[in-house]
Chains A and B, each alone.
Chain A
Amino acid sequence: MNLLLAVLTPFLGAALVALAARRGRALAAWSAGAVAALALLLLLPAMAASFGGVTTIQRLPWIPTAGLDLAFRLDGLGLLFALLILGIGLLVILYAHYYLSLEDSLGRLYAYLLLFMGSMLGVVLSENLIQLLVFWELTSLSSFLLIAYWRRREAARRGARMALVLTGGGGLALLAGFLLLGEIVGSYELTSVLASGDILRAHPLYMPTLLLVLLGAFTKSAQFPFHFWLPHAMAAPTPVSAYLHSATMVKAGVFLLARLFPALSGTPEWTWLVGGVGLATLLVGAVIALFKHDLKGLLAYSTISHLGLITALFGIGTPLAAVAGVFHIINHAIFKAGLFMAAGIIDHECGTRDMRRISGLWKAMPHTATLAMVSAAAMAGVPLANGFLSKEMFFAEVVTASGKLPFGWLLPVLVTVAGVFAVAYSLRFIHDVFFGNEPTDLPRTPHEPPRWMKVPVEILVVLCLLVGIFPAQTVAPLLTVAAAAVLQGPLPEHNLALWHGVNPALWMSMIALAGGVLLYFGRKPLFTLHDRVEGRLDARAIFERLLEDALLRTARRFTAAVDTGSLQRQAALFIVSALVLGGSGLLLAPSPLSGTRALLPVDGVSLMAALALVFATLAATALHRQRLTALILIGAVGLVVALVFVKFSAPDLALTQLSVEVVTIILLLLALYFLPQETPAEPSASRRWRDGAIALVAGSGATMLAWAVMTRPVDSIAGWFLENSVTGGGGTNVVNVILVDFRGFDTFGEITVLAIAALGIFALLENLRLPAPTHDAQGRVWDADLHPLIMATFARLLLPLALLVSAFILLRGHNLPGGGFIAGLITAVALIMQYLANGVAWTHTRLPAQTHPLIAAGLLLALLTGAASWLFGRPFLTSAFGHAGLPWIGHWIGEFELASAMAFDLGVYLVVVGASLLILINLGLAHRASTPVGARVKEARN
């Protein structure tokens, strides 16, 4: 299972690195590097195998009933991408250590970076399409975090949002495309999909499938017209750009094109769509790149252009073109990562990236200049650098393809024009920055960066040259296996060499080089023209207008129309529609209202309790405007309801109801302190009558329903639980066994929700300091006695008793009424009692102020108890139980039961205690303004 482990390693590592970062930046960098290296190590066996042409596929059952497996695949293409992701990832980790300033959190960057790394690995190593999509979306999310790393900067947040909307939206289209793909093929496994190319191309749904999949790929790879998110993503720190926009994020789109190449390509639709979009992107990117004054902006558009080139190659669709596409993926990743890092060094040293301000850096940093020049030469496609080779192959493929098309001669011309611009912007990158006059007004004085900051760039530059000069000896084996995996068939004849003789491609290269130099030195009139049209067509403005105006405003208007914010109106609408729907069903149904069951006898006490319930409820309704009175009356209602539960043999419910009742009273009292003591009166009498009528009809309806159900014999699943409770769960209290065993997974989900809710409330209440009223509803000032002595004394006496009750309820819960939830509430109430009677300061000298660790411990305990059953080969949360006696004292207490469910219940208990305390205490602390802190502390000392 090392593929799965390799993908999981960065995810787990992210948490570790975030922790390690607290102990220093160096440790953070080392641990992040170690995580990436470990992932690489785990992949080594499968990588070695893939060089022998073996595709490693590993699977774990995921949702077997839906035919879905968690399946991982490593073939040549996966190998290539895994190498890029992890290799360049390692370099970026090293580089980032020197790039980030001391006030930026390195741990956070590394954690995000590793999350992203894991997601990317998941994308390229997935065998299952649905699983691939999950990782695909994870890359969108983690890149959002990365782009918005400097979260205080507006540009970063906007750029991140734009990237998320576009790539996330593309991901949705991709999901639809994958679903179609899977339904057509009958399997979501890549192996079957790749083998079903003929079925897919002949299928009537081929076109929609293709469109949806391409939408996903194009948005991710920033293809025209979705290209505009990429330049705005440059708001990210440069290491992030170097990683996301050279080797990973944007390459995910072209990865998808390569991956599905055998399944979807080979039709005119494919050629026109993919080739056309690729070509347009190539041109648009190259042209705009020349005019960008920002170093990273230039690189961003150049990236767009090169991605267009790769897309165009896959669009051409011949096997040889696909080989060239894979080759350019490798080359572009290498030189673009180097260029971004070089741009980062320049930014780091000069304090600006504006090419109009930077010039003549050659003197200050000759070493960096040399590195940047080699990389830029590769970007331009100058011979001896790796970019030249794949660009030549591209030109050759375009010439071949152009012969078959009407107006085919246009293709080589357009492509050469793009080449001219590529040379021009590469030249600008070098000439503007490193030559010309000495810089005058830079924010910092530039000099060479730290030694190790240049090492990653050096490695990449050496690779550029090695591949460019000795392609057959270096990159050929990798390219062969990767291209074979893309084609899923025999490789076409191709010759990786520097010199192919004088052919059209060479001529195009020469024209591009010469034209590029001419264009750069004659660029003045073009720049004037550009300045005049600049801003006329701003993709970001259009995007924001669409998002802000069209989408958000429509959404807000719709929400405002449906939801006026009036609870009364909402409730009235809800109840009336329930009445109409339910009432029509009731009236249309032919069956009688009453069933055949015999009625139970009524005794006097029950009748009295029922009447008490009715009167207390009526009074609460009538007096609801006086809030405190209503609260007291509701307390009485809750009490009677608990009695009813006891009477109808639901002691667990009664105990829960009683505990919840008190917690509710405390909660409402806390809230009541800030609220007006009376609710405003209803606006009109007619409104009151209307609401009264609705309430009356709805109440009668509910009564009739209850009557109809209760007078009929019911056949529920209760019997099954009663029979299996002891044998299956080892407890005689069915309610508790259901909670901790049969439906233990639900309970686990619920306590998780409870924990999240508590943390959410904590976050909302943080820094909330509400003004406290100085007098009560009748205008009397508050009593000066904060904690009356008698109350405080009794409350302290109560604590051990209450804890004893709580322990008792917890321990016996499995067999008799009780359990973790009730016990947790009792403990929480007992502790809150101390806050009530003795004050926060007194209590906090004896108890930890916050209960987060308690919640975490409870959740962990529940999780571990559940997971422990895996060790015995049983499903999650299977409980084990047995009976044990104690030595020596066993004689007196006899045998007692030990069940794993009790540990789970203890987890529930801890979460409930922690969450209740966290919520109530922090709500209470929002009152802090009423007494100065000093006074409270002094009082606690007395």
Chain B
Amino acid sequence: MLSMALTIAFALVAAAFVMSLFRLLKGPSAPDRILALDTLYINAIALLVLLGIHLASPLYFEAALLIALMGFVGTVALAKFLLRGDIIE
């Protein structure tokens, strides 16, 4: 049961990943791309968590945690750049 759920989850997250990637490549505006990158971060977290469940190992969760943390900061920095240009002022 779990393995089937995992397979479906993997497929769905992968599809989300591909769609975010499409928005990232297509744009057309900078906010579109930043949002796409942020969504990619979320998809990556999902992938890592799924992989952890699949392999029954907690080792992957730190990477997911770090993406959650770092992805947020990256997005904020990019957004601040769009807003003000100067990110540390």
Contacts and interface: CB of A to CB of B under 8 A. Distances in A.
A835 B88 contact: yes
A602 to B, nearest CB: 14
Given A628-B81, A632-B37, A798-B72, A921 B88 contact: yes
A669 B24 contact: no
B55 to A, nearest CB: 10
B65 to A, nearest CB: 6
Contacts of B4: none
Interface of A: 604-605, 608-609, 612, 615-616, 619, 628-629, 631-633, 635-636, 639, 642-643, 646-647, 651, 654-655, 658-659, 661-662, 665-666, 669-670, 672-673, 772-773, 776, 782-783, 785-786, 788, 791, 795, 798, 801-802, 805, 809, 816-818, 826, 829-830, 832-833, 835-837, 839-840, 920-921, 923-925, 927, 930-931, 936
Contact of B73 (A646, A776, A833, A921): A833
A633 B24 CA distance: 7
A290 B33 CA distance: 81
A817 B62 contact: yes
Given A632-B24, A836-B77, A783 B84 contact: yes
Nearest to A924: B88
Contacts of A923: 88
A925 B88 CA distance: 7
B88 A829 contact: no
A604 B11 contact: yes
Contacts of A817: 59, 62
Interface string B25-43: 1010010011001001100
A801 B72 CA distance: 13
B86 A927 contact: yes
A662 B81 contact: no
B59 A782 contact: no
Nearest to A833: B73
B60 A636 contact: no
A662 B47 CA distance: 20
A632 B44 CA distance: 16
Given A651-B63, A786-B89, A604 B14 contact: yes
Contacts of B18: 608, 612
Given A616-B21, A628-B30, A651-B60, A604 B10 contact: yes
Main secondary structure of the interface of B (DSSP, over half): helix
Contact of A669 (B11, B25, B69, B78): B78
Contact of A826 (B59, B69, B78, B88): B69
A809 B85 contact: no
B47 A836 contact: no
Contacts of A833: 73, 76
A503 to B, nearest CB: 85
Contacts of B85: 673, 772-773, 776, 782, 930
A658 B17 contact: no
Contacts of B34: 632
B53 interface: no
A923 B86 CA distance: 11
**Top 7 A-B pairs ranked by shortest CB distance?**
A924-B88, A662-B70, A632-B33, A783-B83, A927-B86, A662-B74, A608-B14
B87 A795 contact: no
B25 to A, nearest CB: 5
B88 A832 contact: yes
A837 B76 contact: yes
Nearest to B18: A608
B73 A931 contact: no
B66 A805 contact: yes
Given A604-B11, A772-B85, A930-B86, A635 B51 contact: no
A837 B27 CA distance: 26
28 contacts: A605-B47, A631-B78, A632-B37, A632-B78, A639-B41, A643-B44, A651-B59, A651-B60, A654-B63, A655-B66, A662-B70, A662-B77, A666-B87, A669-B77, A670-B87, A772-B86, A785-B83, A791-B76, A791-B80, A798-B69, A798-B73, A818-B62, A830-B69, A830-B73, A832-B88, A833-B76, A836-B80, A837-B76
Which residue among A612, A651, A927 has the maximum number of chain B CB atoms within 10 Å of its CB? Answer: A612
A228 to B, nearest CB: 53
Contact of B83 (A609, A628, A782): A782
Given A619-B24, A836-B76, 12 more contacts: A628-B30, A632-B30, A633-B24, A658-B70, A659-B66, A662-B70, A662-B73, A673-B86, A809-B62, A817-B62, A927-B89, A930-B89
Contacts of A662: 70-71, 73-74, 77
Given A628-B30, A642-B63, A662-B74, A612 B88 contact: no
B76 A661 contact: no
Given A612-B17, A802-B69, A836-B76, A643 B30 contact: no
Given A659-B70, A669-B77, A836-B76, A646 B51 contact: yes
A207 B78 CA distance: 69
A636 B38 CA distance: 9
Contacts of B79: 791
A628 B66 CA distance: 24
Contacts of B14: 604-605, 608
Nearest to B58: A816
A776 B72 CA distance: 23
A257 B66 CA distance: 66
Given A616-B25, A643-B47, A669-B78, A655 B62 contact: yes
A646 B60 contact: yes
B88 A605 contact: no
A631 B37 CA distance: 11
B27 A629 contact: yes
A229 B18 CA distance: 72
Which residue among A619, A809, A835 has the maximum number of chain B CB atoms within 10 Å of its CB? Answer: A619
B10 to A, nearest CB: 5
Nearest to A649: B59
B64 to A, nearest CB: 9
A306 to B, nearest CB: 62
B87 A673 contact: yes
A604 B13 CA distance: 12
Contacts of A931: 86, 89
B50 to A, nearest CB: 9
Contacts of B37: 632, 635-636, 639
Contacts of A615: 21, 25
A836 B69 CA distance: 15
B82 interface: yes
